[in-house]
């Protein structure tokens, strides 16, 4: 039985080699050269793969996402009925996202947008000193990524809050959950960091209502999915000064069209969905372990909960 690998052509060989380095006995077929559909037992896929296509494989036992997010796999028509989906929880993914969040929290906390503007204009002006202990940071999503980022920020001395679906106790982090918790946390968040999965409940969550609850002059940092943010509402909040700056790694659609106002906005800092990039050699042991589990009939690691949507 074989593993179907489907990702960008440029990285396909690197992924194949990383999987084979862990288990040289694997037979790996590179999409679209799937060969006999009956020979495919597992599919390792990324965002572009069409879930309808996976219905061609009668002996498929497992679908594995090459990333942490699975919104691309769950959107209609979704995975073939009865086939489990596993996502990636990976130390290097988590580390990179923590670094990206820190980079942007510190950028805004240390008034870097203002100092860069002053440099452009050759202005020598000291701004008021920022006080770490007074800069409250609210994190939407206290999962693998959110909990790690919260720990890093706590380590620097920021007061950190986190919002999750279910009540959660993370040491040193003030926890909130549910709709009331969201409003309460937003009202105290001088910086709002989004690290949520994209689900029907979280789509468009960073909208005019939520932005309006933030303290005036707050910052928004989105490392999750572009569709969490209502772009027009964020732009209006930036224009009106309710939001003082935004760091965005993810967009809807991607790539962001060249005419989109974010590109040229002086208070928006963009990265091209590069906050945290899966490194095949780091992810491969977990992917192979899940392929072995599927063969044994065991539940995969990091199984996606279809009901919750992540």
Interface residues toward ligand GLV, by CB under 6 A = 67-69, 93, 278
Q: Provide, rounded to whole angstroms, the least separation between the CB of residue 254 and ligand GLV.
A: 10
The listed partner (ligand GLV, ligand NAP, none) that binds 6, CB under 5 to 8 Å by sort, is none
Classify burial at 237, counting beta carbons within 10 Å of its beta carbon; exposed 0-12, middle 13-18, buried 19 or more.
buried
Contact mark string toward ligand NAP, 101..130, x via CB under 6 A: ------------------------------
Q: Could you confirm whether 225 is annotated as catalytic?
A: yes
Catalytic residue among 61, 165, 228, 273: 273
Tokens of 56: 């061609």
Length of the chain (residues): 310
Q: Which is nearer to ligand GLV, 87 or 165 (CB)?
A: 87
Q: How far is the CB of 87 from ligand GLV (least distance, A)?
A: 8
Cβ neighbours of residue 193 closer than 8 Å, sequence gap 6 or more: 101, 105, 137, 138, 139, 140, 146, 149, 221, 222, 223
Distance separating the N- and C-terminal Cα atoms of the chain: 28
* Rounded Cα distance, 94 and 75, in Å: 24
Tokens of 287: 């992917």
Q: Does the protein bind ligand NAP through residue 97 (CB under 6 A)? A: yes
Q: Whose Cβ is closer to ligand GLV: residue 274's or residue 299's?
A: 274
d(CA 60, CA 2): 10
7 is an interface residue for ligand NAP by CB under 6 A: no
- The stretch near ligand NAP (CB under 6 A) out of 116-124, 151-159, 220-228, 258-266 is 220-228
Catalytic residues: 225, 273
């Amino acid at each position: 039985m074989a593993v179907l690998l489907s990702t960008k052509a440029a990285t396909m060989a690197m992924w194949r080699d990383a999987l084979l380095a862990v288990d040289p006995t694997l037979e790996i077929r590179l999409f679209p050269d799937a060969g006999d559909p009956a020979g495919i037992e597992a599919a390792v896929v990324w965002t572009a793969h069409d879930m309808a296509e996976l219905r061609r494989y009668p002996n498929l036992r497992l679908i594995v996402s090459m990333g942490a997010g699975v919104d691309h796999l769950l959107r209609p028509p979704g995975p073939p009925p009865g086939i489990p989906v596993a996502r990636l929880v990976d130390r290097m993914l988590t580390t990179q996202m923590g670094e990206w969040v820190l980079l942007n929290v510190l950028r805004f906390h240390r008034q870097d947008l203002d100092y860069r503007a002053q440099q452009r204009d050759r202005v020598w002006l000291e701004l008021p000193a920022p006080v770490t202990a007074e800069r409250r940071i609210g994190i939407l999503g206290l999962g693998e990524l959110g909990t790690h980022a919260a720990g890093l920020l706590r380590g620097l001395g920021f007061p950190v809050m986190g919002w999750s679906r279910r009540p959660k106790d993370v040491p040193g982090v003030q926890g909130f959950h549910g709709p009331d918790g969201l409003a309460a946390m937003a009202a105290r968040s001088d910086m709002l960091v989004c690290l949520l999965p994209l689900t029907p409940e979280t789509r468009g969550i960073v909208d005019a209502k939520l932005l309006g609850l933030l303290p005036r002059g707050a910052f928004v940092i989105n490392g999750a999915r572009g569709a969490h943010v209502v772009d027009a509402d964020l732009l209006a909040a930036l224009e009106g000064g309710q939001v003082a700056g935004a760091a965005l790694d993810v967009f809807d659609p991607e790539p962001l069209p060249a005419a989109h106002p974010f590109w040229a906005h002086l208070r928006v800092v963009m990265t091209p969905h590069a906050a945290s990039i899966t490194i095949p050699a780091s992810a491969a042991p977990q992917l192979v372990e899940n392929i072995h589990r599927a063969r044994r009939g065991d539940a995969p690691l990091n199984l996606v909960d279809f009901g919750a949507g992540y």
